[in-house]
Chain A
Amino acid sequence: MGSSTLSIGFFFAFMALTLAITYWAARRTRTTEHFFAAGGQVTPWQNGWALAGDFLSAAALLGIAGIVTSNGFDGMIYSIGWLVGWPIILFLIVEPLRNVGRFTFADVVAYRLRQRPVRLAGAVGTLAVILFYLIAQMVATGSLIKLLFGLPYTWSVIVVGSVMLVYVLFGGMLATTWVQVVKAALLMGGGILLAFLVLTHFEMNPLKLFAAASEKYGTKVLQPGSKVVSGQWDAISLGLGLMFGTAAMPHVLMRAYTVKDAKAARLSILYATGLIGVFHLMVFIIGFGAMVLVGADAVAKAGGGGNMAAPLLALTVGGNAFFGFICAVAFATMLAVVAGLTLSGVATLCHDVWTNVIRNGSASEAEQLKVARVATVMISIFAIFLGNAFEGQNVAFMAGLAFSIACAANFPSLVLAITWRRFTTPAAVASILVGTLSSLVLIYLSPTIQVDILGKPLAAIEHQWWFVSLRNPAIISMPLSFAVAILLSLVTREKNANRAFDEMQRRILLGPIQPNTDEPARAKSAA
């Protein structure tokens, strides 16, 4: 495609802008408070955009548009699932998180409990989520960039890994935030323009678009099918994983700490929900637009498993320049998401594992920053290495697995720590580990691994005693994790945790900066 010069031009403009931001941010990143939480000085409106930028991966634009183009309505199941977790974050999680924690969600779970075991378990849960999500993103990124720009896979992965390293290493949360804001603005702008151009072909009436689609491909495209999500309980289980997994994604939760108080955190979730909701409605239009204006066959023929639907549609309705722009936006999207993921992995390694487990809570600022930077380099190298190792593998399940683990490992312990007086250390540790392990085991025994990856015939294994027919483990692993947590809390006693509950409730309401309280005040180290 001759337009790749244009897309490379757009891409370099984005790189120049974000690297300039990183340079600017690097000069303002002096403490861990800056590195992990941008000094708490991001405004709710900026944070809302950054949350949208953090959360909307390339899958949200390219992937869902592709599913809609080839299957019609069913693509929306993912759009909806990725949105309904946000109200849960707002109602149950974000304010306690902001007022009690400092950098990670384990801050909140471990607040009343014994620090070391809970933080270690929390790190296992968080790093498992981040690892699988990062692999899924890196592999998708490598193959998409190869498709969009013609750059070889290995180089694509190396470029993305290195640029993300630069953002996080030098600019910390401040640079990552602004990269996400810029990316979210480009993504929203591109998405809205694309949907608008589609609708100009249909008298600005989405119903005319849907009618044209059903005329061309039959009414089945307007009806729920069973190709995208098969199995009744699997659909419910997928829904659970998407809803409560979103509500416990570490890189999303971490953004609660970048604003100045609980009210600002509350507002930023509201803005993010609105932005993500509008975006998903646009993607639905874009998917149907590609179905009618480009054609499902042409999209399938372009390769990439349907991912080319949105770019090809841009080419059709907006010409070469728009095609180049959408490709560059997709690239920016991938970069911003992996940067956010990496930063939350670094926060867990540095703040939870190093400072609070290994150094028992007493590490100097300089030491913590050094550890954070070493961890950033480690995770980036790891991501590049794994991205290459999994080239050509079917890793789509890993994103779903990440949501399932977040839902089963992180969500129960977080909610119980905030709301239940009797919650204890053994319960928290067991609930996180059981949630992580059961998700892994269940997915290993499901057709996702056994049939799709290992290539065994379904008929040969479906009568085995160990076979799990569900492709989405959340419906088993999440209740299991809750049950373990409740049971162990009832049979163990922890006087300190029980006593600290009132103090925690107070802090959830009033926040950390209270004079004359005996708790350690949130370290507000001035720049």
Chain B
Amino acid sequence: MNVVIPGKPDPAPSVSALAKKRLTVALVLSAAMIVIYFGFMGLFAFDKPLLGTILMPGLSLCIVLGPLVIISSFALCLVYVLWANRVFDAGIRNLR
């Protein structure tokens, strides 16, 4: 744990380590969102019959998957916020 000493140059290694950690989490979660969304859009663009499979009266595959994309967007946001509030913010406090 490094402490910023007023007037001294900042402890670059731990700032960049925390920055790297945040970027990794951000990139992994972004990649998950992109895979989920373009997986869905890929089916919409290239395999409409599959997406249109009727599962039961009143329910098709796309009506299951569409809201799931919406729900997973929120779920991923929640994962990030929980991580950031617990782990990342604690790391920031240590830097200060």
Contact = CB atoms under 8 A, between A and B. Distances in A.
Contacts, number: 156
**Interface-central residue, B6, B18, B45, by most chain A CB under 10 Å:** B45
A210 B58 contact: yes
| Binding site secondary structure of chain B | helix
A493 interface: no
A506 B58 contact: no
B22 A239 contact: no
Number of contact residues on B: which range applies?
35 or more
Interface string B2-41: 0010110010100110110011011101100110111011
Contact of B41 (A83, A226, A239, A270): A239
A214 B58 contact: yes
B84 interface: yes
Given A80-B70, A92-B26, A239-B41, A267 B16 contact: no
| Binding site secondary structure of chain A | helix
B26 A509 contact: no
B37 A210 contact: no
A79 B33 CA distance: 15
A236 B69 CA distance: 15
Contacts of B22: 509
Interface string A67-106: 0000001001101100110111011100000000000000
Interface residues of A, number: 57
B26 A91 contact: yes
A37 to B, nearest CB: 22
A5 interface: no
A146 to B, nearest CB: 33
11 contacts: A80-B66, A83-B70, A87-B30, A223-B60, A224-B62, A232-B46, A239-B37, A267-B81, A284-B67, A505-B15, A510-B96
Interface of B: 4, 6-7, 10, 12, 15-16, 18-19, 22-23, 25-27, 29-30, 33-34, 36-38, 40-42, 44-46, 48, 51-52, 54, 56-60, 62-63, 66-67, 69-71, 73-74, 76-78, 80-81, 84-85, 89, 92, 95-96
